[in-house]
Amino acid sequence: MEKSSNTYMMKIAMMIGGQNSYTYLEELSMKRDYTLDALRGYYAQFGLGVRTGIDLPSESTGFLGVPNESGQVLDESFGQFDNYTPMQLAQYAATIASKGTRYAPRLVKEIRRTESDGSLGKVELVKEPLIMNQVNVDPEAFERVHRGFWAVTHDVGSRSYNNFGNYPVGVAGKTGSGESFYQGEVKEIINEATTNSTYVAFAPYENPEIAVAVIVPYIRNESVLPAGDLVKATMDAYFGFN
C-alpha cells in the first residue's frame, strides 16, 4: 500500500510539472523548479517548511534540500527530501484535525500579576489564538483525508491497529518511516542506513482536542518503529488512561 501511494504521489508531481506519462528509463521532462515550488507552496499551508508562529525567538524552519536532479523532486512529493521539525509536524497534524485552519502554537496562554503575598493576581494579558492561514482545499477533500487518517489507526492489519484499533478514544494518525543515514556520535556506524520512525495523530476523531507528533531518529531495525507506542503513551497521559 505504501509503495503504491508513493507512486501515485510521484505521478501527481509529474503532472504538476507538465509531464503526463513516463516510460521506464526515459529522462524526466517535467519542470523541476516549478514543481518543487508548487509542492512546497502546498506544504507551507500546513506549516511544513515555514515558521509555525510559535511564541519563541529563533524558530527553525527545518531543512529544505537543493535538488540536483528531477528524481529528488519526486522524492519531495511523498516526504523524502525536505526535513521538518517536530513542531511543524504537530502543526500539520493540528491543521488536518481542524480541517484547514492553521493555528500558531503558543506556550503562553495568559500572563498574571503576582500579589505582594506571593499569590496569583489578576490577569494582565491574554494571548488569543492566532490563525496563520486557512488551507485552500475543498471540505470534501479534508473529509477524505480524515477517513484516511482513521484507516491508518483502525484497519485490521495496519501497523497502528494494535495501538489504537480498540482505544477508548477515537485516534486518527499517519505513520512515517523516512530513510536516513546515521550521523551521530557512534563512529562505527557513521553513514549506516537507518530509519526515522515518525508518527502524527489527533484525537478525539469527531471533535479534536490534541495533536501529537513524534520522531525517533536512527532506527537500525525497521521491524521496531517505536513512534506509535510513544504517541499512545502521550494520548494515555492526556486522557488520563493508565
Q: Name the residue ranges covered by the structural domains of the chain.
A: 1-19+28-84+101-134, 137-242
SS3 203: strand
Instruction: Answer for the pair 31, 47: CB distance below 8 angstroms, yes or no.
Output: no
Cα distance between residue 58 and residue 215, in whole Å? 21
Q: What is the mean pLDDT of residues 142-157?
A: 95
Q: Is the pTM of this model over 0.85?
A: yes
> How does the average pLDDT of the chain come out, rounded?
92
The residue among 139 and 224 whose pLDDT is bigger is: 139
Taking every pair of Cα atoms in the chain, the longest distance, rounded to a whole number of angstroms, is 77
- Topology at the third CATH level for domain 137-242: Beta-lactamase (3.40.710)
Instruction: Answer for the pair 169, 146: CB distance below 8 angstroms, yes or no.
Output: no
The model's pLDDT over 99-127, given as tens digits with 9 standing for 90+, comes to 999 999 999 989 999 999 989 999 999 98
The secondary structure of 23-64 as a DSSP string is: -TTPPP-S-HHHHHHHHHHHHHHTTTTS----SSSS----B-
The model's pLDDT over 152-198, given as tens digits with 9 standing for 90+, comes to 999 998 889 999 999 999 999 999 888 889 988 888 889 999 989 99
Cα distance between residue 168 and residue 239, in whole Å? 9
Grid cell for residue 235? 494520548
